[in-house]
Amino acid sequence: MFLEQLINGITLGSIYSIVALGYTLVFGVLGIINMAHGEIFMFGAFVGLLIVSKAGAPLPVAFLGAIVVTASMGLLLERFALRPLRTRPGASHLASLISTIGVSILLENLAHKIFGSGNHLFETPFAEISFKIGPVTVYLVQVLILLISLLLMAGLALWLSRTRAGKALRATAENLETAGLLGVDTNRMITATVVIASAMGGVAGVLVGMAFNYINNQIGLSMGLKGLAIIIFGGMGSVYGAMAGGLILGLSETFVVAYGSSGYRDAIAFVAIIVILLIRPQGLFGQAPAEARR
């Protein structure tokens, strides 16, 4: 059973990681928490479902479609719920938090109107491909999810540290006005960040559909809250922290069920953040103390 649970935990953890990467990217650049990220992720899952199960198109089309839709949602989110707050003098960080909470409530209930409240079957032949390692059955989807999450992490880390655009992004993160004076189009950089983060949410959504075969309009809220816990645990704005935090959470949730009681499964994430905030407020991989950002 140990090996099977290990695979379950890694699969769950990789999905958590991808969701958390989306949060961490936006926080790293804008210093705000995008509470609507979970719901954007859920829309990605539903778009994937419509393309694969309803229209019968192949998987790559589903990924593409989910990315297009979630990226546009990111664009709209930035334009209408974030940018107006940025140009207002003296707006606090709480304003963007509250505004994105608003977007998340809006999207969750919109999804309920559009897709209904029940579970939807996410059917794709790819999800049925499996192979055996000894006594353990491994699904190709599970390997794919781990690979994609690692790729996204590595890609992001490289992009941020090595490319020109990445440097401009970090400059924007460091100081908005100075970066602007130095010729960085900060509005464009910020929009790009939110769009990329949202597109990653879309990818994660399709992967969840493939891994669990079912989606509903509540997964945004539950995954979103977990993703939030992970970035606090791993360290806000840290790419490696999101990856490690996601895997740690996925594994501990799985093993608490396997060797303990399943009742507290959903509470682990929050117990973890309360503990980490008490002993190491900057998180596992965070550099700056919490006070530095506010």
Question: Could you say which residues in the range 135-164 bind another protein, by CB under 8 A?
Answer: 137
Binding mask 171-210 for another protein (x = CB under 8 A): -------------------------------------x--
Among 54, 79, 188, 293, binds another protein (CB under 8 A): 293
Question: Judging by DSSP bridges, how do beta strands 130-133 and 136-139 pair with one another?
Answer: antiparallel
Tally of residues, the chain:
294
In the complex with another protein, which residue's Cβ is closer, 61 or 258? 258
Find residue 234's DSSP bridge partners: none
Find residue 136's DSSP bridge partners: 133
For residue 197, give every residue at least 6 positions away whose Cβ sits within 8 Å of its Cβ, in sequence order, or none.
21, 22, 23, 25, 26, 34, 37, 74
In the complex with another protein, which residue's Cβ is closer, 9 or 201? 9
Task: For residue 211, state whether it binds another protein (rule: CB under 8 A).
Answer: yes
Determine the interface stretch with another protein among 61-69, 84-92, 171-179, 180-188 (rule: CB under 8 A): 84-92
In the complex with another protein, which residue's Cβ is closer, 60 or 87? 87
For residue 88, give every residue at least 6 positions away whose Cβ sits within 8 Å of its Cβ, in sequence order, or none.
95
Task: For residue 76, state whether it binds another protein (rule: CB under 8 A).
Answer: no
Question: Judging by DSSP bridges, how do beta strands 120-121 and 214-215 pair with one another?
Answer: antiparallel
Residues 219-278 that bind another protein (CB under 8 A): 219, 221-222, 225, 228-229, 232, 253-254, 257-258, 261-267, 269-271, 273-274, 277-278
Question: Judging by DSSP bridges, how do beta strands 214-215 and 136-139 pair with one another?
Answer: unpaired
